[in-house]
Amino acid sequence: MPPPPIRKISLDAPPTVVHVPPVPLDGNGNGHAGPAGGVHTPGPPPSEAPVLERMRCDAVTIAYGPKVAVNRVDLPIAQGEVLAMIGPSGCGKTTLLRSLNRLTELTATASRGGRILLDGQDIDALEVTTLRKRVSMVFQQPNPFPMSVFDNVAYGLREGGSKRPRKKELMEPVERALTRAGLWHEVKENLDHPALRLSGGQQQRLCIARSLAAQPEVLLMDEPCSALDPISTAKIEELILELREQIAVVIVTHNLQQAQRVADKVAFMYLGELVEYAPGEQLFNAPQAQRTRDYVGGAFG
């Protein structure tokens, strides 16, 4: 069976039924048309912003104790495009993502080799708080803080978690961040409500707004839609495509269709190694490596 055709979920379009062309059968009577085998799937529309390299992994190796989770990975991360990291569970993609803003340092046993550069500067040379303000992260589970919607977004703008500056001065950047995250119209009446009363999808967009408020240069997203319903997922995917114009976006996803819908570049990782890094359309339609072909064709993972 070929996988069902992929289409972007459009919220206001009338429901449509996509005609599936009959699949040519091979000698064994099996359909043979994985994504690698002929059905051409388009990627996201090309970005209008110029592509500009912001980060670079240079032979990055990360180990938890003796166990190597990421093995000598070289990877560029550019503004103006979305990089998706795909691969089976435990292949090191989340570890690599977390190392980009040094969250791996929170794990006592983790150690890192190689260099990670942000605008040509080694991130180890940066103050960790400065680095994380520039390279922000959105997590798998929506995790707003136990405070109001407004305070959640303002949190990143206030130094040291204090209540200053006051609400009035912060209203403008908070509104801007919520608007960018596509949440402003849903919460503008309820900025004082506890953030944990929002729905899961709203919470996740609030977390994105919270990250955007501090104006990061790189946004890391660790399976941001895996806990969400399809409509919330569609909203966040639209948001990702808008964000890539101004910042570099890296997204880890288990969902190959999602990677196809949002990613300009896709990195396929397997057992800690970067197997293939290519434009999304090429990686899904004409993968070079056998392991990539097997994975995107659904042979394992």
Partner 1 sequence: MSALATPPRDPRAPLPGPRRTKARDSASSWPLRDRIGLALCWGAGITLTLVAGSVLLYMCFKGITQLRPAMLWTHPSSDVDQSQTGGFLDPIQGTLMLTTIGIAIAVPIGVSVALWLVEYGRPAPLARAVESAVDIIAGSPSVVLALFGLSFFSESFLSWMSFHAEDAAFGRSFMIAGTVMSLIALPLVVGATREALLQVPNHVREASLALGKTKASTIRAVLLPAVRPGIATGTALGMGRIIGDTAIVILLLGNTLTIQPRDGAAPVVGLLQGTGSTLTSYIYGNSPTGEGNAPEKAYAAAFVLLLIVVALNALATRIARGRGKDTAWIR
| Residues making contact with partner 1 (CB under 8 A) | 101, 103, 106, 129-133, 136-137, 139-143, 145-147, 155-156, 160-162, 194, 196-197, 200, 207, 210-211, 214, 227
Query: Least CB distance from residue 90 to partner 1, whole Å?
Result: 18
Q: Which two tokens stand for residue 44?
A: 């996201």
Considering the complex, state which of residue 15 and residue 146 has its C-beta at the smaller distance from partner 1: 146
Evaluate whether 228 touches 253 at the Cβ level (below 8 Å).
no
Query: Least CB distance from residue 156 to partner 1, whole Å?
Result: 4
Query: Least CB distance from residue 211 to partner 1, whole Å?
Result: 7
Three-class SS of residue 121? strand
DSSP 38: T
Considering the complex, state which of residue 188 and residue 197 has its C-beta at the smaller distance from partner 1: 197
| Distance between CA atoms of residues 35 and 268, nearest Å | 15
| Distance between CA atoms of residues 59 and 75, nearest Å | 9
C-alpha separations of 120 from 39, 99, 136, 200 in Å: 40, 16, 18, 37
Query: Least CB distance from residue 247 to partner 1, whole Å?
Result: 15
Instruction: Give yes or no for a cis peptide into 22 (omega within 30° of 0).
Output: no
Evaluate whether 250 touches 223 at the Cβ level (below 8 Å).
no
Considering the complex, state which of residue 174 and residue 256 has its C-beta at the smaller distance from partner 1: 174
The alpha carbons of the chain give a radius of gyration, in whole angstroms, of 20
Query: Least CB distance from residue 198 to partner 1, whole Å?
Result: 11
Evaluate whether 195 touches 145 at the Cβ level (below 8 Å).
yes
Considering the complex, state which of residue 130 and residue 290 has its C-beta at the smaller distance from partner 1: 130
Query: Least CB distance from residue 131 to partner 1, whole Å?
Result: 8
| Distance between CA atoms of residues 216 and 49, nearest Å | 17
Considering the complex, state which of residue 220 and residue 283 has its C-beta at the smaller distance from partner 1: 220
Considering the complex, state which of residue 219 and residue 274 has its C-beta at the smaller distance from partner 1: 219
Query: Least CB distance from residue 138 to partner 1, whole Å?
Result: 8
Considering the complex, state which of residue 26 and residue 124 has its C-beta at the smaller distance from partner 1: 124
| Distance between CA atoms of residues 145 and 151, nearest Å | 9
